[in-house]
Structure 1
Amino acid sequence: MKVAMVASHYPLPSHREEFVARVHQVADAFRRTPGCLTADCWLSADGDAVVSTVHWESEAARDASLATVMTAGLDIGYDERESRPREILHLVAR
């Protein structure tokens, strides 16, 4: 069963372009993991949110992919460059 994750990030305006670059790096890392179908970076129409989407072929692929990316040394932590906490939505295909 396919699964997905949609994460909305809210970088401060002074960090928006840096944050977009960070999300692209993470998406590239996800795409290199087995079972990842897509990973993309989006910007909301109002420019306030950077939205990342990742789709996997299964829950097992998602779990392995997340573990790999979390240990890849990428700048993925939440910190003072963001104006509010991230919103993460986990999805399951039906």
Structure 2
Amino acid sequence: MTVGFVAFHYPRPEDFDDFVARVHQIAGVLRSVPGCLSADCWITTDGDDAVVSTGQWESDAAFAASFAAVAAADVDVTFDERERRPRQIIKLASR
């Protein structure tokens, strides 16, 4: 069973470009772990100015290993005043 996630982030306008760069950096760490099939950064085009991160893994174990790698890496994943509203994170599983 493959697993994945979709996360919607809402950075403040003045922090948007830096936030996109942060998500690209995190995606690179996620992709570096065996079993990660994809990790990407998207932006919405509907005027909401959201950054959408997505990922897909071969298994729950690979998913957990990727996020353990992020925790161990020197990347900024902090939720703080740079985001104008809480993140929405949805974990997915294939059937």
The TM-score range, normalised by the shorter chain, is over 0.9
1:55 aligns with 2:38: no
Gap regions ≥5 residues in structure 1:
none
Q: Deviations over 1:27-83 (max 9, x none)?
A: 011110111000000001125100000100001110111111111120111010000
Matching residue's letter, 2:92:
L
Matching residue's letter, 1:82:
E
Relative to the length of structure 2, the TM-score reads 0.95
The runs of at least 4 consecutive aligned structure 1 residues that moved more than 4 Å come to none
Q: Deviations over 1:2-23 (max 9, x none)?
A: 0001110000000000000000
Identity among equivalent positions (%) equals: 55
Secondary structure of 2:76's counterpart equals coil
1:15 is aligned to: 15
Gap regions ≥5 residues in structure 2:
none
Query: Map of 1:76-87 to 2, 5 A cutoff?
Result: 76-87=77-88
Relative to the length of structure 1, the TM-score reads 0.96
How large is the Cα RMSD of the aligned pairs? 0.8
Secondary structure of 2:87's counterpart equals strand
Aligned length: 94
